[in-house]
A and B are shown apart, each in its own frame.
Chain A
Amino acid sequence: MVAFEHVTKRYGGPDAAPAVDDLSLTIPAGEVCVLVGPSGCGKTTSMKMVNRLIEPSAGRITIGGEDVMSLPAVELRRRIGYVIQQVGLFPHLTIGDNVAVVPRLLRWQASRIRERVDELLEVVGLEPAEYRSRYPTELSGGERQRVGVARALAADPPVMLMDEPFGAVDPIRRDRLQNEFLRLQEQVRKTIIFVTHDVDEAIKMGDRIAILERGGTLAQYDTPAAILANPASEFVERFVGADRGLKRLSLARVRDLELIEAVPVRAGEDRVEVRRRLDRVEELTYALLVDDRDRPLGWIDRHDLAGEGPIDPSAATPGAPTVERETTLRDALSALLGSSVQLGVVVDERDRVLGLVSVDAIGERLRAPVRSADGRLHEVGGPLEAAL
């Protein structure tokens, strides 16, 4: 949907070092492409060439197949949403008028504009009646950021450019804004070019990531999972961080694993019966002790189930960490490592036991081959392995 074809930008004569060097990539419609890299890598420059705030020195950029140069720049920009770090809300306009800027430039009908403004304010989580007539100075940083997003969405542009939009807020608020934005994107499915210097944000937000190096060259362009599993060069490997294994774990969730069947037992149940149930589950050597409301209390080793009679609750190892299906594998691993038996209990929203997960299973997932953006499966490794 948005394509860069051999785009280069040079400042100063033809002998100057390029800010963006022969960039070619295609962003499918409805996906978020994150441009990420160290300062001086040309990520913001590249993004700004899409709405022609910066004109390329060579190459071309197309949106939906059409060259961006085929329209007057001002018209082009009215069809592209633009969000910057400091937001740039117009201080002399109310929130409502700020959001309405592009629709007004496009001469929409007044009633349609009014509806759209209220609709968007709701979407970004700001009560229209309360915020519509306020001024930017009255809002907090996080609220202003949301208005900035609403403003960019106002004319319903197919493409949006976002330059470190969440950079100016504190980490807690940033996390919330990112989550809300991801939820929003699921509904609206815009084609988005997102610039950030934070590789963790890139991994979280991007359907694809383009890692750029200083000097404006593209180091790797792929899905986050593929990049983390197979960095294309030493630079990429260093850039994504030594903990890329753990980072990959935050991309997957408990629901992506096959659960081990749990054997929940209550105090007073018969040992022989429990042994029999346990034997039916392959590789499971612990029974899960639960209370009278089926909440996990601890583990009973099979060895402690020898003999006859009711089970002995005092023999149980306490500590049965619980996780949910939506928990990332990274958080799950963190919880499980605290348990001496390396097992965790998966529960639903009503705390009912759904099954078990093991540290081993998580590790196995890390070692499984990864599918890259072009559809091919790759074995997990780094540039060194790839060279072998």
Chain B
Amino acid sequence: MDLFGEGIAWLADPGNWTDPRNGILLRLWEHVSLSASSLLVAGLIALPMGLWIGHTGRGATAVIAIANIGRAVPSVGWLGIVFPLTLALFGRGGLGFLPSLIALVALAIPPMVTNTYAGLREVDRDLVEAGRGMGMREMEILRHIEVPVALPVILAGIRVSAVQTVATATLASIVGGGTLGEFIVQGIFVRALDRVVGAAILVAALAILTELTFSFIQRRAISPGLSGGREWSPMDPGQVGRTTTD
């Protein structure tokens, strides 16, 4: 248990935070910015796709295929596949941020697509028909009826992706992407276990914080008239399309 103490001590040392070449703040910033960018890019791809498939109902086979691939290929697998490609294509530029981004985006897409699709599919068709009958256009139906009703499930998917992205960003260090994972991976290598444990604590805290934040958003964003039906818990991973959690 004294390893724990060492980890805490390492975290407590302000010098470790501000070290310009390998400081905690630096790595933390790398971690957060990588995660955020990946989530953003993935969202820009996955959400419209999910909305389209969910609204029109076409492409269910494609969705299932995406979900299955997403679940079967491990996160390190993505990194491992993308890395040689970016390296070959961009040389030094293909190190670090780029392969990490691509891999993380690939991992973040399935939960958001499948959840968005499933959420929209669960919307009562009668509501949609009522909207059409009132003269709403397709986009309006999507915006004003389907999305608000499906919001809990969609947000759950985003939450799952977010937590997963933050978690997998840890592994970016193996392709030179830095992040907090750098401390863990390097630390294991050189047997400096204080920073391994310290960084692990930090990473865990960051992931839990992400989970809680998005849960909070999820809860707040749901119309009070919708709460019935799906049983819900703060740690609800949203079931649909849950992949790995690295």
Query: When A and B assemble into the complex, do they touch directly, with CB atoms less than 8 Å apart?
Result: no
Interface residues of chain A, those whose CB is within 8 Å of chain B, are none
Interface residues of chain B, those whose CB is within 8 Å of chain A, are none
